[in-house]
Amino acid sequence: MKFNKKELTQDTYYVGVNDRTKARFEDIIPLTYGVAYNSYLIMDEKTALMDSVDVCMGDLFIDKLLSTLDGRTLDYLIINHIEPDHSGAIRTLRQHYPNVQIIGNKKTLSMLDGFYGMTDNILEIKDGETISLGKHELTFILTPMVHWPETMMTYDSLTQTIFTGDAFGAFGALDGGVLDTELDLDRVWDEMYRYYANIVGKYGVQVQKAFGKLSKYDIKMICSTHGPVWTAHKDKAMEIYNQLSKGEAAKGVVIVYGSMYGNTEIMAEAVAQGLREEGIRNVIIHNASKSDDSFILRDIFKYKGLVIGSTTYNGDLHPCIKNIVAKIENRGIKNKEFAYFSSFSWGNVADKMLKEFAEKTKWNTVEFTVSEKMGVKKEGYQSAIQLGKELAKQLQD
Ligand code: FEO
């Protein structure tokens, strides 16, 4: 199959692919709208490819690359990020271009050996080093732990384009366009939040360090390995990553509850009512048994307020709440305005565990809580409304 070339900027082409087949990213996170594995080709006196794609899309990727190279050879493969969704096709690539030189930092090349047993025809680069393709001079910027140890970025000074690996990425296939100006971005922003929360969210400190390094570069175009190529909307994309990595969030509240027979759910609704009555407009309720964790985490990162409600189950938290609490702790999420409530039938364990969780997080927690035994009674219902109101006041301060 011969594809048309897709030029993004001078000598720089898109050769990525869309995956609408895979159910879950990393076999964990639902791909509601698919995902793009982006790869870019610069064709100067030398040709250089930025990252490759998942092995499942290898043949299609090679067809796109062959079409764009149009008879020219491939001189370099630059690996900004070696996670297999961007490196799985390297073996296939080398079958087509056996002389391609693979460029990466020390950690990348160690992983290249570890994952694929490749040690020949490689070039190790260090932070700040450059190579010239002719007119295009590429600078390598090491940005470790955004979100793997080897992650780095590559800056092309001629076109002021930065190839960022996963940074500034989003879930979602690219439907018809590649540039942000070619796409309807409404869905993309949500998928960017979900991507950040689930993939990069644990590494806010390292993202901030990367921002520090990027500050000396003039950037016109951002080429991530997932999601749109950012041009007109690059500032917004960067600002979302900047705010999320600093733990800044929008005014609003996420209520996550785990209920068995609906009593904890009634309390969740009552808390939401209290929030609304005090003027909080953005209130999102997630039933932890139904909403996928990736969407719950997205909203927790996005909004300043969080309420968790759990029934006691087998002397523990509701299993779905236990799971989401563990994911919050794993990511070390900061700066929340927090409230919690619980229910039980005989032993009130959920209240104790949520209290311990609140203390561990060091979040700003509403001082009172509600815990109902068996069915929700009038007083407990009113207290849940009051809990929402107290949290709303905390958010207004
Ligand atoms: Fe898209 Fe971290 O791989």
Looking at residue 81, its amino acid is H
Cα 328 to Cα 322: distance, rounded to the nearest angstrom: 10
Cα 280 to Cα 131: distance, rounded to the nearest angstrom: 53
Gap from CA of 84 to ligand 1 centroid (Å)? 7
Gap from CA of 367 to ligand 1 centroid (Å)? 40
| 212 in Cβ contact with 152 (< 8 Å) | no
Helix, strand, coil percentages, rounded to 5, for the chain: 40, 25, 35
- Looking at ligand 1, which residue's alpha carbon is closest to its atom 2? 83
| 383 in Cβ contact with 267 (< 8 Å) | no
> Is residue 274 exposed (0-12), middle (13-18) or buried (19+ Cβ within 10 Å)?
buried
- Dmax over CA atoms of the chain, in Å, equals 77
Q: Determine which helix (DSSP H) or strand (DSSP E) holds 24, and give its type and residue range.
A: strand 24-25
Residue 397's pLDDT is 79
Q: Determine which helix (DSSP H) or strand (DSSP E) holds 388, and give its type and residue range.
A: helix 378-396
- Scanning 215-318, the segments in alpha helix (DSSP H) are 234-245, 263-277, 293-302
- Looking at ligand 1, which residue's alpha carbon is closest to its atom 3? 83
> pTM for the whole thing?
0.97
Gap from CA of 208 to ligand 1 centroid (Å)? 18
CB-based pocket (< 6 A), ligand 1? 81, 83, 85-86, 147, 166, 225-226
| 101 in Cβ contact with 75 (< 8 Å) | yes
Cα 80 to Cα 361: distance, rounded to the nearest angstrom: 34
Three state DSSP letters for 34-71: CEEECCEEEECCCEEEECCCCHHHHHHHHHHHHHHHCC
Picking from 111, 121, 122, the residue whose alpha carbon sits closest to that of residue 86 is 111
Cα 112 to Cα 119: distance, rounded to the nearest angstrom: 7
Gap from CA of 52 to ligand 1 centroid (Å)? 11
Residue 392's pLDDT is 98
State which ligand 1 atom lies nearest to the alpha carbon of 199.
2
Looking at residue 246, its amino acid is K
Please count the other Cβ atoms lying within 10 Å of the Cβ belonging to residue 67: 16
State which ligand 1 atom lies nearest to the alpha carbon of 37.
1
Cα 35 to Cα 25: distance, rounded to the nearest angstrom: 8
Cα 197 to Cα 211: distance, rounded to the nearest angstrom: 18
Give me the residues paired with residue 279 across strands.
none
State which ligand 1 atom lies nearest to the alpha carbon of 148.
2
> Tens digit of pLDDT per residue, the chain (397 long)?
899 999 999 999 999 999 999 999 999 999 999 999 999 999 999 999 999 999 999 999 999 999 999 999 999 999 999 999 999 999 999 999 999 999 999 999 999 999 999 999 999 999 999 999 999 999 999 999 999 999 999 999 999 999 999 999 999 999 999 999 999 999 999 999 999 999 999 999 999 999 999 999 999 999 999 999 999 999 999 999 999 999 999 999 999 999 999 999 999 999 999 999 999 999 999 999 999 999 999 999 999 999 999 999 999 999 999 999 999 999 999 999 999 999 999 999 999 999 999 999 999 999 999 999 999 999 999 999 999 999 999 999 7
State which ligand 1 atom lies nearest to the alpha carbon of 169.
1
Picking from 215, 212, 223, the residue whose alpha carbon sits closest to that of residue 246 is 212
Residue 353's pLDDT is 98
Gap from CA of 215 to ligand 1 centroid (Å)? 23
Pairing of strands 221-224, 40-43: unpaired
**SS3 state at 172:** strand
> Is residue 367 exposed (0-12), middle (13-18) or buried (19+ Cβ within 10 Å)?
exposed
